[in-house]
Amino acid sequence: NAGVMQNPRHLVRRRGQEARLRCSPMKGHSHVYWYRQLPEEGLKFMVYLQKENIIDESGMPKERFSAEFPKEGPSILRIQQVVRGDSAAYFCASSPAAVQETQYFGPGTRLLVL
Amino acid sequence: SQKIEQNSEALNIQEGKTATLTCNYTNYSPAYLQWYRQDPGRGPVFLLLIRENEKEKRKERLKVTFDTTLKQSLFHITASQPADSATYLCALKFRNNRLAFGKGNQVVVIP
């Protein structure tokens, strides 16, 4: 049973470009969470999604950031017009619908904005 | 606002000894608290969950305590091994299943 998959593992973008981060949850998991980890900082919650629904996006900046979890395919975190301050590690976690206490994390995508 | 504090200084400990980490939180009463391990360049890995009505939880060489009066959790690694060297994160569950993490506490086990 494969774990949470994220790709790409590393992403380099120039200021103003778009970044698309993908997350495939564990098999059977329908809840996805995105977190951001800045250097020397703790993980910060960004958004919580179920299939085709955004449950809580209170941790996500209102501008330039968006997330989706379509019926088919991976969850996508999209950052438009990236700035240097977006450089961070972005982690996705998933949990099954029935038991939502434990979240299983992917390896993360390290975004570097030049 | 809620605050979760872990010691920012790395804990250097001799192999075989017990490592003890502290997690303090304010302005919240979580239903449960979790501990994760994170290795450099990797995602967090779930270790233990302890509920507000539980005082202590054990898993192999790991032990967690939870004092809701003090708003504190202690995380112990007994008989520590070099392979235990990592950063350990404390996390509290808030509404809508979101987790709030401390910054983590690095443990270095010296052979």
In tens, the pLDDT along B82-95 reads 999 999 999 998 77
Mean pLDDT of all residues in A43-61: 93
Given CB atoms, is A44 within the 8 Å cutoff of chain B?
yes
Tell me how crowded residue A89 is: count the other CB atoms within 10 A of its CB: 20
CA dihedral sign, ordered A33, A34, A37, A41: negative
Give the mean pLDDT of A30-48: 92
Of the candidates B1, B26, B24, B21, which has an alpha carbon nearest to the alpha carbon of residue B11?
A: B21
Whose structure tokens read 């400990």?
B13
Quote the pLDDT of residue B66: 94
Q: What is residue A99's predicted lDDT score, i.e. its pLDDT?
A: 61
Question: How high does pLDDT run on average in chain A?
Answer: 93
Token pair of B99 as six digits: 């987790």
Nearest by CB to residue A42, choosing from B41, B42, B101, is B101
Which of B35, B71, B73 has its CA nearest to residue B56? B73
User: Which one of A103, A109, A111 would you mutate to disrupt binding with B, by most B Cβ within 10 Å of its Cβ?
Assistant: A103
Q: What tens digit of pLDDT does each residue of B6-43 get?
A: 988 899 999 999 999 999 998 887 888 999 999 999 99
Size of interface A-B (CB pairs under 8 A): 63
Contact residues, chain A, for B93 at CB < 8 Å = 101
Task: Report the alpha-carbon distance of residue A50 to residue A76 in Å, rounded.
Answer: 12
CB contact under 8 A, A41 and B46: no
User: What pLDDT is recorded for position B44?
Assistant: 95
For chain B, how far is it from start to end, CA to CA, in angstroms? 41
Q: How many angstroms separate the CA atoms of B33 and B54, rounded?
A: 10
Pairwise pLDDT comparison (B3 vs A76), residue with the higher score: A76
| Partner B contacted by A25 (CB < 8 A) | no
